[in-house]
Structure formats: structure tokens, C-alpha cells
Amino acid sequence: MSTLTRRAFVAGSALTAGALTLPRNAFASAPQAQAQGPGVYRYKLGAFELTALYDGTWYLPIDGKFIRNASGTRVNKALAQAFLPPNVLPITITALMVNTGSKLVLIDTGSAGQITDTAGFMNANLALAGVKPADIDTILISHFHPDHIDGIKTKDDDKVFPNAEIFVPEPEWTFWMDDGNQARATGSVLKYFRNARRIFRDIAKEVHRFKPGAELLPGIVSLPAYGHTPGHTAFALHSGKESMLVMSDTVRNPYLFARHPDWQPIFDMDGPRAVKARRAMLDRAAADRMLVEAYHFPFPACGHIVKAGTGYELVPSMWRPL
């Protein structure tokens, strides 16, 4: 042991010995953070840079009627198998930002705190990612449920993304903006009609409507995935040799709906049609070993799909340096 290290060792020992005699309150406890860390995760797809932006989680109480074709007991068993408590569905919300190299594109917009207190953090996470709302060039909307479109406006109806061109599926617009359809709606569906009008009514002229199947930007193709809503749309991203499926709400919580693709939650307006879209998309993702992303998957909401038993399993992406 050199003189220097011995001296340091002795000094250290003395300090330790001395410290033991200090009153306990001389050790300041570290303050607890009392908040979650940044909900931002970046990954690459060819030349695209993707950013998962966590908006929060909506803890939805559910009862035995939540799945039209599965009992509450079966649903609670599926929740327990995922180490989740019974009678509550955690609906994680993650928007996806795509930097194509020339455009900054946001796919769906978060809930803007207009659904539940435990969601509405997307814009805070956007800021932590170093992006201002005014930087967003393009917004692509999958469908008109509030957790996907509410981020377009504040509670006071101000536009959040002043420079963004908004693209929505044509059949979705046609359905929700039809007065006859609204007149026949009740309950939460009626609320969705009113909300869609609140968001889009005064900006209707600025909203571009696209036919699902169309390429919206170079490397971003829309895919019809009807059933969840009449115009519900997914997206495929292609850059270089890489491709990814942005499944939107075709598959939501994977422990329920990837493992049990035939389950028809009351959220799916046309249950059998949604099942068909879900099975087709899961099948394609598994067969082609494609990277997938889904708005309600656990953060960072991306991974791969493998066949497992009568259903499918999500293999989440591992956090990695960019």
C-alpha cells in the first residue's frame, strides 16, 4: 500500500469511525422523485428515426360485459396471467413520432389530459424529446376515438400543433360527421360523435381526407383495418430494406387481445370485422417477422409478434442505444 493510499485509507477509517458517532439525522435522506422519468424512446427504421411518446395510462374499470364473447371470469384470468389486478384494464397510450429526414410526422395525438388524470403527458414528453408542437409538419389520424384525436386541441379548443397538416381516413370522417349517424347514437358513442365535431368542425377545411390504402408520404402507407370503428386505419412504414406495422387499435392490450385475438370488446363497433382485421394483421406480423408498434401496447409500444397456442404473443423490443 503506498503512503498516499494508506493515508487515504486511514483518513477514510477515521471518517467512518467519526461518522458512527454522529447523530442519525446528520444523514440527509435523498428526496423521493414522486414522478415518473421521461417517457421518450427512440429507435431507427432504415433512415427513419422513430420516437415513442408516452401519454399515460387509462385504468378503465371493466365488468363481465366488457368482452362480448368471453366471461368476466375468463377476462380476469387473462389479467391475472399478466400479473394485473382484476376488473381493471390498463390502457397505455403511446403516440409515435416519425422523423422521415424531411418531415416530422405524428401518428395520433394522445389524450391531452381530457380522458383521465393518469394520461395527458405526451406534450411534456415531446418537449423532453426536444420538439416543439410548432415543429410537427404532419399529423396522421388512425380513427376518431378521443384518446387518438383529443391532442389536436386543448380543453379550450385551441389548436396545439399550429403548423401541422392533418390527414384522416375518409370513411372515418364520413361516418362520424354524418348527422343521421349521430342522431341514432347513444351513450359513449354519442359522446364520441360530439367530441369528433368539437375537434374537427372549425378546422374542417384544413383536414385532408385519405382513402385507406393510399401512400400518404414517401414510405408511409395507410392500411384499412376496419371494425374497431368504420374507418379505423393502420399504417405501414418502409425505409430502406426495413418495414414496420403501426397497428393503431387493431390490437390493444396484448395480454388480452394478442393472446385472445377472437375476443370482441365493446369498444370494437363491428366485433367480427375487427377480429378479422386483428387476425390478418397479427398473422402478417408473425409470418413476416415484422417490427410492430401499437398505440395501446406497454411502453415503448414496439416489438415483434409470434404465434402462441391459439393466439399470439408480443415480444417487446429491448431498450437499446440508438
Residue placing its CB nearer to Zn ion in the complex, 253 or 317 = 253
Residue placing its CB nearer to Zn ion in the complex, 219 or 302 = 302
- Name the DSSP class of 265: B
CB atoms within 10 A of CB 161: 22
Instruction: Give the span between the Cα atoms of 272 and 188, in whole angstroms.
Output: 20
Q: How far is the CB of 145 from Zn ion (least distance, A)?
A: 5
Instruction: Give the span between the Cα atoms of 178 and 181, in whole angstroms.
Output: 5
Residue placing its CB nearer to Zn ion in the complex, 100 or 246 = 246
H/E run at residue 182: helix 179-184
Residue placing its CB nearer to Zn ion in the complex, 48 or 97 = 97
Residue placing its CB nearer to Zn ion in the complex, 115 or 166 = 115
Q: How far is the CB of 254 from Zn ion (least distance, A)?
A: 14
Of 104, 282, 114, the closest CA to residue 195 belongs to: 114
For 280-321, give the DSSP string. HHHHHHHHTT-EEE-TTSSTT-EEEEEEETTEEEEEEPPP--
Instruction: Give the span between the Cα atoms of 221 and 219, in whole angstroms.
Output: 6
Q: How far is the CB of 161 from Zn ion (least distance, A)?
A: 19
Strands across the sheet containing 215-217: 215-217, 220-224, 233-239, 242-246, 291-293, 302-308, 311-316
Q: How far is the CB of 73 from Zn ion (least distance, A)?
A: 25
Residue placing its CB nearer to Zn ion in the complex, 149 or 219 = 149
Instruction: Give me the residues that bind Zn ion (CB under 5 A), please.
Output: 145, 147, 249
- Name the DSSP class of 258: T
Residue placing its CB nearer to Zn ion in the complex, 145 or 259 = 145
Amino acid symbol at 173 = W
Q: How far is the CB of 54 from Zn ion (least distance, A)?
A: 14
Q: How far is the CB of 52 from Zn ion (least distance, A)?
A: 15
Q: How far is the CB of 148 from Zn ion (least distance, A)?
A: 6
Question: CA 127, 128, 129: angle at the middle one, nearest 5?
Answer: 85
